[in-house]
Structure 1
Amino acid sequence: MKKYFLVALLATVSFSSCSTSDDVQEPEVVDPVVEPEPEEELNRSDYPIQDFMYGAMNLYYLYKGDIPELADTFFTDEDSYVKYLSENPDPEAFYNDDLLSDQDRFSFLTDNYIELENSFSGVSKSNGLKFSLVRFSNSDNIFGYVRYVAPNSTASETIIERGDLFTEIDGTTLTINNYQTLLAQDTYTLSIAAVANNTVSPTGETVTLSKVEGFEENPVYIAKTLEIDGAKIGYLMYNSFVSNFDDELNNAFAQFKADGITDLVLDLRYNGGGSVATAIDLTSMITGQFDGEIITKQQWNAEAQAYFESQSPESLLSRFNSTIYTGTASEQPINSLNLMRLYVIGTGSTASASELTIIGLRPYIDVKTIGSTTVGKFQASTTLYDSDNFGRTNANPNHTYAIQPLIYTYRNADDVVGPPTGIEPDFELEEDLTNLGELGNPTEPLLSLALDQILGRSRTTKRSAGPAYQLIGETDMFSPTYQRMYDNKRPNINK
């Protein structure tokens, strides 16, 4: 055992000795010095859409004071400003998340201002069917009812008409979860229904409708003179303030004037608004004896208001006029009626420029409203483009983004501000699904109530409404111009 142990020990010592003598020192590995790449310098030109939107909102946004980053002194240098632009590279997210106030329900942006301009001109992709969407009590199921059918549309070539109801699209029951997708289709088939004893039941009829590009709807839907009990009363159903149809509106008033009407019923029950300039023209058509007097006084954000008050105070005022605003040197004389009272039909779909017409006229003539409470939207917007002065001329040719922010609210000549809860009716009556009536017919319930007041046939101030359903939407609720009021005469701010 000792012998073997000694041999093993000697072997171990011998191995260790050899290893030590033969060991070659490995050179120390040193990592190469890598110079850090310089950070890429950001430039505002790298974010042209965000840059233009920020600049436009900084000047014109009504709720500028609600957004700290829009303050003129917020950014101390260009680097911090460009870093801010770079933090949200998606233009839509940047606009909606960073630039809009929580109290703003109406400002928006578009990535195709050509479509937006067409919409303001009354041109859209449409089948011409105008409807409301109503929710059944304690249910997710909904149904639609037809308000009216636009003339010369694809819907006008079918059997569908005012008062028809529909509960299914392409055989699928409409619900709160699917109606947007079903109605967004270019072509769909409606299953017609009817209401009786507060129950909606299918009739077995179906109607297939197709939307067409470039459909243009004349907002002067009905203009007629009613001769009742020896009185001549004008009736105008006006469905949108579209300046492209100002001539048609003025022609309707020329006919009223020729007919010698003594009163006017202005039906705005489905009118969600539109052009401020057209609303001013309409107030001047109804009157005429107040040319040059103030209709509205605008209130902008603090900096813009101070600028206009010092540089251009007249630009803050809208006045009765005697010519139609056309944006050209050639302006058509307005046909005025010189009325001293007006009866307006309004509903929960009556908004913006419609409400301006009511509020603006009240200091001068007796304006009575019939129907239900209006929306309560008293702010105006404008289209701002990526150009030196945010106008359409010389807009950046590399994209078609534009923004439509709220820019001012207003008071009337008596300094009355429109109530945000809407204008309450003087004579209340809801539309009744079981008795919608024929629009323009003196027996139609809302028109009949207006005629009662004009002719002194009744002193009723309230009438019972029909079955109560929850209104959840209408035809144009997803249109960018829905319940918007826009001012195409925006004055420039030069800083």
Structure 2
Amino acid sequence: MSDYYLWNENIPDIILDHSLDYDLFLAQILDGVAENDDANHDDGLWDNGERVSYYSNIQSNAPLSRATGESYNDAGLAIQATILGPNDDDPCGFTVMFVTPGTAAEEAGVHRGDFITKVNNIPVTQNNYSQLGNSLLNGNVTVDLNSVKFNNGVATITNRVPSVMIAKSSYIDPAIYKSTVVTAANGKKIGYLLYMNFHMDYDSQLLQVFNQFKAEGVEELVIDLRYNNGGHVLSSTVLGTLVAGQSHQGQTYLRTTYNSARTAAGEVGVYNIGEAANPETANGYDKISQAIDSSLDLKRVYVIGTRITASASELLINGLRGLDIDVRLVGTTTQGKNCGMEGWQKRAGNYTFTLYPITFYCENAKGFRDYAEGFKPDFEYDDTNIYPGDFGTMEDQLSGIALTWAATGNKPSFESTGSRASTGIYVLKPTNEMKSQFTRNMGGSRTIVKAM
């Protein structure tokens, strides 16, 4: 931390309590820096003037923290506790927001937009939804799956699948949830990608997706990052190359700038479109150069973003705009994580500790990095209280806006997107378990982990 933390100047002066566990030990370092005129303000998520959490973190399989790289063991879905209308006596249940591919929930036939009114034959109410929701997320429960239709603001519930078992299963969360090609009414081919995490293990699959987009003649592209809170810098460079293509080959996608000591020593990191060479790997990363052959060479791209959208996702927006590619953002203001992490790993006995401190700012080719308040959308729309439709279709409000804009080239009105404002719902306060399903992937523009 003294050598590499982005705001490291006063770390040697902090009095440390070495009896603390590793989570609290790191926290006291970060708090100590913050006490010096809020020097590390950009290290963390803020809400209403208060820091919710630091981005810098340490992970371990030792007690008191979570292990990295382990598979999840649950039902494999994300839910919102919902009342289908403005009144307390309107139907209450769980709206399925997404289902992870390859999980027990998917195998059971659950999909986005399903409405669950019973768990283990117990009706969901405002009094018991916390307990039933956590049981549902854990898995090994029986539910009824219902479809919901609205007519003049009144919801009609139709049982779709009665009494289905959602088992608990072990799985690894993939990066790509959905990719499809939509043919607009005017014949234009629009690619749609629901991308949930920038993860190098899925870069080969990402290339295959774009090869299919090219084969089907995709002219416009919608990248859905509404639930993507970051990941690997190299994967972000791969996706940036797939969008930008040969006309931008060799141009700067990302420039990483470090603390004053490292900067004075001449250290800087550069990631270029279509070039394997990078600051992280001595032999380069060939997926970046391979991406040139799979690229769409686009002049514009449509990105769906929300408050969850962060870090490597925002790096994509900033990096493409630095190349003068028109990034048209739909949704709400993004999180505002304009800095990134390097990782160091150390083993101690049977335990592994991986430290991810914030060590660099993310600049684009124009030197712009001032997006700590997030990127504001070009078409602002908060669909929190709109009943969800299937991703990448006109039934989903944010997808519908982006697809309409991509099809016509003109910024749409709500009427032209088939606004579903009459499908209003009331979302109950989520439990921590419900919230974690949307943000469980560790955020951050991350580089490859190094050994200590």
In terms of mean alpha carbon deviation, does 342-351 or 168-177 score higher? Answer: 168-177
Give the TM-score of the pair, scaled to structure 1: 0.69
Structure 2: how far apart are the matches of 1:138 and 1:405?
46
1:369 equivalent in structure 2: 329
- Measured after TM superposition, the shift of residue 183 of structure 1 is 6.1
1:145 equivalent in structure 2: 95
> Are the counterparts in 2 of residues 427 and 461 from structure 1 also a CA contact under 8 Å?
no
Distance change >3 Å, CA 153–CA 284, structure 1 → 2: same
Alignment of 1:446-485 (within 5 A): 446-456=398-408, 459-461=411-413, 465=421, 467=424, 469=426, 472=430, 477=436, 482=441, 484-485=443-444
The reply on whether 1:260 has 2:217 as its aligned counterpart is yes
> Are the counterparts in 2 of residues 168 and 174 from structure 1 also a CA contact under 8 Å?
no
1:291 equivalent in structure 2: 249
Letter in 2 for 1:222: K
- Structure 2 counterpart of 1:158, from 90, 108, 115: 108
- Measured after TM superposition, the shift of residue 264 of structure 1 is 1.0
2:201 equivalent in structure 1: 244
- Measured after TM superposition, the shift of residue 342 of structure 1 is 0.7
The reply on whether 1:125 has 2:73 as its aligned counterpart is yes
1:47 equivalent in structure 2: none
- Measured after TM superposition, the shift of residue 132 of structure 1 is 4.1
Structure 2: how far apart are the matches of 1:200 and 1:404?
48
- Measured after TM superposition, the shift of residue 222 of structure 1 is 2.1
Alignment of 1:1-150 (within 5 A): 57-65=1-9, 68=10, 70-71=11-12, 74=13, 84-86=16-18, 88-100=19-31, 103=41, 104=44, 105=53, 106-112=55-61, 116-118=67-69, 123-132=71-80, 144-150=94-100
- Measured after TM superposition, the shift of residue 208 of structure 1 is 4.3
- Measured after TM superposition, the shift of residue 433 of structure 1 is 5.7
- Measured after TM superposition, the shift of residue 440 of structure 1 is 2.7
Deviations 1:397-417 (A, max 9, x none): 453233222222322222322
Distance change >3 Å, CA 459–CA 221, structure 1 → 2: same
Distance change >3 Å, CA 329–CA 427, structure 1 → 2: closer
Alignment of 1:337-352 (within 5 A): 337-352=296-311
Distance change >3 Å, CA 89–CA 434, structure 1 → 2: closer
> Are the counterparts in 2 of residues 263 and 454 from structure 1 also a CA contact under 8 Å?
yes
- Measured after TM superposition, the shift of residue 227 of structure 1 is 2.7
1:425 equivalent in structure 2: 377
> Are the counterparts in 2 of residues 351 and 483 from structure 1 also a CA contact under 8 Å?
no
Structure 2: how far apart are the matches of 1:183 and 1:64?
44
Letter in 2 for 1:362: R
- Structure 2 counterpart of 1:410, from 362, 376, 381: 362
- Measured after TM superposition, the shift of residue 302 of structure 1 is 2.9
Alignment of 1:225-236 (within 5 A): 225-228=181-184, 229-236=186-193
Distance change >3 Å, CA 59–CA 480, structure 1 → 2: farther
Structure 2: how far apart are the matches of 1:161 and 1:331?
36
- Measured after TM superposition, the shift of residue 274 of structure 1 is 1.3
Deviations 1:278-333 (A, max 9, x none): 011100011122122122232333333334xx2x33x2x23222459895667241
> Are the counterparts in 2 of residues 274 and 481 from structure 1 also a CA contact under 8 Å?
no
Structure 2: how far apart are the matches of 1:418 and 1:169?
46
The reply on whether 1:221 has 2:221 as its aligned counterpart is no
The alignment covers a number of residue pairs equal to 406
Structure 2: how far apart are the matches of 1:300 and 1:362?
22
Report sequence identity in percent.
26
Structure 2: how far apart are the matches of 1:235 and 1:224?
5
The reply on whether 1:381 has 2:329 as its aligned counterpart is no
> Are the counterparts in 2 of residues 167 and 202 from structure 1 also a CA contact under 8 Å?
no
1:440 equivalent in structure 2: 392
- Measured after TM superposition, the shift of residue 218 of structure 1 is 3.0
Unaligned runs of 5+ in 1: 1-56, 76-80, 387-394
Structure 1: how far apart are the matches of 2:249 and 2:336?
27
> Are the counterparts in 2 of residues 428 and 461 from structure 1 also a CA contact under 8 Å?
no
- Structure 1 counterpart of 2:264, from 306, 319, 331: 306
Distance change >3 Å, CA 492–CA 302, structure 1 → 2: farther
> Are the counterparts in 2 of residues 107 and 405 from structure 1 also a CA contact under 8 Å?
yes
Structure 1: how far apart are the matches of 2:438 and 2:2?
26
In terms of mean alpha carbon deviation, does 151-160 or 279-288 score higher? Answer: 151-160
The reply on whether 1:487 has 2:452 as its aligned counterpart is no
- Structure 1 counterpart of 2:227, from 270, 293, 296: 270
Distance change >3 Å, CA 403–CA 183, structure 1 → 2: farther
Letter in 1 for 2:225: L
Letter in 1 for 2:3: L
- Give the match's secondary structure for 2:73: strand
Structure 2: how far apart are the matches of 1:107 and 1:169?
38
Larger radius of gyration: 1
In terms of mean alpha carbon deviation, does 441-450 or 248-257 score higher? Answer: 441-450
Q: Which has the higher strand share?
A: 2
Distance change >3 Å, CA 290–CA 130, structure 1 → 2: same
> Are the counterparts in 2 of residues 246 and 278 from structure 1 also a CA contact under 8 Å?
yes
Structure 1: how far apart are the matches of 2:397 and 2:258?
40
Letter in 2 for 1:216: I
Give the TM-score of the pair, scaled to structure 2: 0.75
Unaligned runs of 5+ in 2: 35-40, 45-52
- Give the match's secondary structure for 2:181: strand
- Give the match's secondary structure for 1:477: helix
Letter in 2 for 1:268: L
Distance change >3 Å, CA 205–CA 262, structure 1 → 2: same
> Are the counterparts in 2 of residues 235 and 264 from structure 1 also a CA contact under 8 Å?
yes
> Are the counterparts in 2 of residues 263 and 342 from structure 1 also a CA contact under 8 Å?
yes
Distance change >3 Å, CA 157–CA 165, structure 1 → 2: same
Letter in 1 for 2:198: F
